[in-house]
């Protein structure tokens, strides 16, 4: 369990969270949550849509909603396509990824640099409420042999 602790929450927990936010529990939303629940790596909207039977626009709309209510987190690997991961109940989802430049394999990274750096940067420049986005890229073991 050195890897990212993934919330193995069940569907009713998830729908309960939806309900808390006074949102309707619709078919597509449940399906999207199910898909995200069984993956522990970020998925693109298109990938999610591929495992579903609803409109792609609905997937985008639902993901945005779920992101606003902090049930999913959006990641950006710089390839022009957003990826989404399910968040646990009290999880701010702060973690990073190590992505293979060749095959796009993704490894979840729990570690991060010390908060010092962030605070120092914020202070030095007078910024408030500073967060960061950090992703690693490299060649995975398989792709090194090519």
Partner DNA sequence: TTCTATTTGCAAATCATTTGCAATAAGGGG
Partner DNA sequence: CCCCTTATTGCAAATGATTTGCAAATAGAA
Task: Tell me how crowded residue 20 is: count the other CB atoms within 10 A of its CB.
Answer: 9
Binding mask 77-116 for a copy of itself (x = CB under 8 A): -x-x-----------------x-xx-----x-x-x-xx--
Provide the angle, in degrees to the nearest 10, between the axes of the packed helices 11-20 and 27-37.
Answer: 130
Is the Cβ of residue 65 or residue 109 nearer to a copy of itself in the bound state? 109
Q: Which residues contact 116 (CB under 8 A, 6 or more apart)?
A: none
Among a copy of itself, DNA, none, what binds residue 29 when CB lies within 5 to 8 Å by partner kind?
DNA
Q: Which residues of 87-116 are buried (b: 16+ CB within 10 A; e: fewer)?
A: beeebebebbbebbeeeeebebeeeeeeee
Contact of residue 11 among a copy of itself, DNA, none (CB under 5-8 Å per partner type):
none
| 61 touches DNA by CB under 7 A | yes
Question: Under rule CB under 7 A, which residues in 11-50 are in contact with DNA?
Answer: 19, 23-29, 44-46
CA 144 from centroid of its chain's CA atoms? 27
Joined tokens for residue 70:
């902090």
Residues in the site for a copy of itself, rule: CB under 8 A?
A: 76, 78, 80, 98, 100-101, 107, 109, 111, 113-114, 117-118, 120-122, 125-141, 144
Residues in the site for DNA, rule: CB under 7 A?
A: 19, 23-29, 44-46, 53-58, 60-62, 64, 80-82
């Amino acid at each position: 369990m050195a890897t990212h602790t993934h919330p193995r929450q069940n569907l009713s927990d998830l729908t309960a969270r939806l309900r808390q936010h006074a949102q309707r529990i619709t078919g597509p939303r449940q399906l999207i949550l199910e898909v995200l629940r069984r993956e522990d790596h970020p998925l693109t909207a298109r990938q999610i849509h591929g495992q579903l039977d609803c409109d792609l626009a609905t997937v985008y709309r639902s993901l945005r909603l779920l992101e606003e209510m902090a049930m999913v987190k959006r990641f950006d690997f710089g390839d022009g396509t957003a990826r989404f991961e399910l968040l646990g109940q009290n999880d701010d989802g702060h973690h990073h990824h190590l992505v293979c430049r060749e095959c796009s394999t993704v490894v979840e990274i729990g570690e991060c640099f010390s908060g010092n750096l962030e605070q120092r940067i914020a202070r030095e420049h007078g910024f408030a409420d500073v967060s960061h986005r950090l992703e690693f890229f490299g060649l995975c073991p398989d792709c090194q042999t090519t």
